[in-house]
Amino acid sequence: MRPAQRAVGAFLALGLSIFGPTAGAAGAETPYDLVIVNGRVLDGAGNPWHRADVGVRDGRITKIGRLEHVLARRRIDAAGRFVAPGFIDLLGQSEYTLLVDGRCLSKVAQGITSELTGEGTSPAPHNEQTRRRVEHREQRRGVRVDWSDLDGYYSRLERQGIGINLGTFVGAEQVRRLVLGTGSEPPTPQELDDMIDRVVDSMRQGAFGVSSSLIYPPGSYAGIYELIALAEAAGQLGGIYMTHVRDEAAGIDDALTEAFEIASLAKIPVEIWHLKIKGRENWGKMGGIVERINAARAEGLDIKANVYPYTASSTTLSVCVPPWAQEGGTQTYLARLKDPEIRARLKREITTDYDGTWSNGWKSAGGAEGIMLSWVHTEKNRRHRGKRLSEIAAERGVDPLDLLFDLILEEEDRAGGIYFTMSEDDLRLALKQPWVSIITDSEGLSPEGILAETRPHPRAYGSFPRVLGKYVREERLLNWEEAIRRMTSLPASKVGLRDRGLVREGYWADLVVFDPETVADRATFENPTELPVGIDFVMVNGEIVMEGGRHTGRLPGRILRGPAATASPGTHGPAAPKP
């Protein structure tokens, strides 16, 4: 070997950078931006891992093979590590927190590189009423809604910069609010046409489908024919129907039937968000739920689902209140809670007279003891976060249901709780199903700054590493290959992300390098903002955003657009005709 060649080899062996458009002899290949060597590649498709190096140039994976001697600006030695596609979260809630802190630290720290948001509500379209609602809810964080449609929202994100890739669904509740407001009445034919037009416009601008969240008013007021019409419009443009079904407790069978009918009549794939069965009296029913979904699939309906790996849920305190009491908007709702006669009626309907026709969070949690106060807006109640409602009621010397109503009033319906409602056996059974992917159902947060004021469910920081550490390494419920498939190519295929979710040449270089011996979640219900361990590197579009557990400050995320959008970076396919 000549001296010059030995010198180059020494640089490469030490992992040092070599810059310049070309290096070595005339005509030599341009250096890779990044090369990952000595790792075990989990390709995301479920194939057995294999040893290979991965080369990245211009944000994409350009070579998989033997690359130990190529020139590279940055080399990562992944010996003893797995190299996997970046994880895809099909139910994030980061549409507004990204405007506060674009890093999305709680997500990328656990290996998430792409998120889909928009659960019933969505970041667009907006009118003056929906803008005011968001700005009231996000007042403490200073979020201003200065856009009206999805293109405007995406332009806002692109100007600011984001640390993950983000796409969205258009919310059925969102378009209902725009056209009908907060009432419970069904739309007229003309109003329904207007709602369909809003869905079509959003699909053309990049939405991946239409979504519903059928336990929250006014979205819960939607009837099945309204939902079928919106889903059919999205389906004709290549979209999917995502749904938080109408009941996840005693009424789960009827809720599933509704989802199946929408899939059949709208001719659209359906994804059930955070599949679960709530309430101790319903534990053990997951087997029947799985059987029904498998039977529907056998009949040709494209039904799939996702889960977060915890036995507690998290949502607003108002899921404990019947929908009729919330009709008419926030101020009308709060006025009802001040009325002693209405309070007495509500107490009866929530407890002794509950008729099973709505999703009763109080009942499924077993009352105040099963609900932990999670997030609040006022300073007054911040000291109560992390306490059970039963404990706070005892401190105040009030009836637990009166405490619930008082907290909703004091926080102007901006308070949430963690509901301990599910069984581990049911969760494990759901996790084993090949059509189940993994989600966080959480907004992107940070353990410092204003986003640290939120006391979240630990899923915000731990969902994906929890699956890898607890359910793969420790319990062997899944193997590494299958778990990674559930986090990558499976969610990508559900929504039509054609160039993400696999370690494959030509795909975007969203990559995670992790240690199978140590990867684990650290967030708990008591300390929910702890970052996970065992994830060495996270790359978004070829740029390192996490290294050694620290954020690099880079914001290389891209906008993800769905199948009906005109092709552009991160988009897929030409525009489709309006249905």
Burial 251-264 (b: 16+ CB within 10 A, else e): bbeebbebbbebbe
pLDDT at 14 (0 to 100): 34
Q: Is residue 408 part of a domain?
A: yes
Q: What is the pLDDT of residues 248-273, one digit of tens each?
A: 999 999 999 999 999 999 999 999 99
Q: Is residue 52 part of a domain?
A: no
Q: Is residue 210 part of a domain?
A: yes
320 and 259, same domain (yes or no): no
Alpha-carbon span 108 to 140, nearest angstrom: 24
332 and 290, same domain (yes or no): no
Alpha-carbon span 7 to 453, nearest angstrom: 52
In terms of residues, how long is the chain?
579
- Tokens 């139910």 identify what position? 91
C-alpha distances in Å from residue 496, one per residue of 197, 436, 539: 22, 16, 21
177 and 278, same domain (yes or no): yes
246 and 112, same domain (yes or no): yes
Q: Is residue 50 part of a domain?
A: no
Q: Round to the nearest angstrom and report the end-to-end CA distance of the chain.
A: 67
Q: Is residue 12 part of a domain?
A: no
pLDDT at 566 (0 to 100): 55
Q: Is 268 exposed, middle or buried (0-12, 13-18, 19+ CB in 10 A)?
A: buried
387 and 438, same domain (yes or no): no
pLDDT at 5 (0 to 100): 42
User: Could you tell me which of 238, 244, 265, 268 has the C-alpha nearest to residue 256?
Assistant: 244
8 A C-beta contact, residue 75 and residue 524 = no
Expressed as residue numbers, the domain containing 260 is 87-311+422-551
406 and 450, same domain (yes or no): no
Picking from 420, 445, 466, the residue at the C-terminal end of a domain is: 420
167 and 194, same domain (yes or no): yes
Structural element, H or E, at residue 551: strand 550-551
DSSP, residue by residue, 514-549: E-TTT-B----SSSTTPPPBSEEEEEETTEEEEETT
8 A C-beta contact, residue 95 and residue 122 = yes
DSSP, residue by residue, 55-117: EEETTEEEEEE--TTS-BS-EEE-TT-EEEEPEEESSB--TTHHHH-TT-HHHHTTTEEEEEE
The strand pair at 511-514 and 82-85 is best described as antiparallel
Q: What is the pLDDT of residues 103-132, one digit of tens each?
A: 999 999 999 999 999 999 999 999 999 999
Strand partners, 272: 243, 305
pLDDT at 568 (0 to 100): 43
List the CATH number of the domain containing 460: 3.20.20.140
Alpha-carbon span 302 to 293, nearest angstrom: 9
Alpha-carbon span 178 to 187, nearest angstrom: 12
468 and 513, same domain (yes or no): yes
302 and 206, same domain (yes or no): yes
161 and 211, same domain (yes or no): yes
CB atoms within 10 A of CB 482: 16
231 and 325, same domain (yes or no): no
Sheet order of strands, 416-420 included: 312-316, 416-420, 371-375
pLDDT at 28 (0 to 100): 54
Given a cut of 50, the residues of the chain with pLDDT beneath it are 1-27, 567-579
